[in-house]
Amino acid sequence: MSYPHIVLVHGAWADGSSWSKVIPLLQDKGHAVTAVQPPLTSLADDVAATTRALALINGPVLLVGHSYGGVVISNAGHDKTVAGLVFVAAFAPDEGEAVGDLGHEFPPPPGLAELRPDASGFLSMTAQGVAENFAQDLPASETRVMHAVQTPTHGSVFSAKSGPAAWKHRPTWYVLATEDRMILPPLQRKFAQAMQAQILTLPTSHVPMLSHPAEVADFIAAAAQSLARN
């Protein structure tokens, strides 16, 4: 059985180390894995970085996005190589929607209060925000590293309108984090139901791939195996 190449896309205030626990688990299962490093400078730039990564791969791809990475894969997922999409506690906008348009029917997520802008329009998460709202189920030794390696994220990514939604035309899977303080669980469920995704529900913070890596890796591997059979 030939599995699709798994391509991982991190979200805002993060970098490729978001996947550091999941990657070896997937590789041990025999999967080829690439972690994209979106610059978080604009939605167009982040989609372009992902598309460049896809162009280097021969054969089908399972595209995985965390958080804002869900917006990226919703746009990059139209690439002819992409066979399926996995959303991990992620946004999944429809065409014409921006991240800032989503979830107004719910209270503001607590984590948003811990963002700080710089003079160039980039936002960073405070150390307190990472520890209490982004990754509250990880030890302090890990949240300190997450804060140190975060990529500041330009505010324009939250107002950029998404293009046609690839999740309407690809098999989809969704990891729903029930203790998320960045994307509230009811909004995650709304996304998952809209795309008719297969859902894995985990009692985690916004970073299930770091707090429950084995379960997330197994779910991604199962999605890859499903695509390989079809």
Which residues make beta-bridge pairs with 64?
A: 8, 86
pLDDT confidence bin for 1, thresholds 50/70/90: low
Tens-place pLDDT, residues 205-219:
999 999 999 999 999
pTM of the predicted structure, to 2 decimals: 0.97
Over residues 189-205, the mean pLDDT reads 98
pLDDT recorded at residue 99: 96
Domains of the chain and any CATH numbers: 5-229 (3.40.50.1820)
Count, in order, helices (H) and strands (E) of the chain: 8, 9
Other beta carbons less than 10 A from residue 78's beta carbon: 15
Question: pLDDT band for position 54 (50/70/90)?
Answer: very high
Q: What is the mean pLDDT of residues 68-88?
A: 97
User: Which residues touch 148 (CB under 8 Å, ≥6 apart)?
Assistant: none
First-to-last C-alpha distance (Å) of the chain = 11
Please, what is the average pLDDT of the chain?
Answer: 97
Question: Residues 10-38: pLDDT tens digits?
Answer: 999 999 999 999 999 999 999 999 999 99
pLDDT for res 230: 73
Q: Return the closest-CA partner of residue 183 out of 77, 69, 84.
A: 69
From the list 132, 113, 133, the residue with the least C-alpha distance to 123 is: 113
- What DSSP state is assigned to residue 49? H
CA pair distance 189, 219, nearest whole angstrom: 17
Contact 11, 68 (CB under 8 A): yes
Q: Residues 89-108: pLDDT tens digits? A: 999 999 999 999 999 999 99
Q: What is the pLDDT of residue 2?
A: 82
Task: For residue 62, give every residue at least 6 positions away whose Cβ sits within 8 Å of its Cβ, in sequence order, or none.
Answer: 4, 5, 6, 7, 82, 83, 84, 85, 86, 220, 223, 224, 227
Bigger pLDDT: 176 vs 1: 176
Helix (H, G, I), strand (E, B) or coil at 140: helix
CA dist., res. 170 & res. 163, Å (int) = 15
With bands split at pLDDT 50, 70 and 90, how would you rate the model's confidence at 229?
confident
For residue 84, give the H/E element and its range: strand 82-88
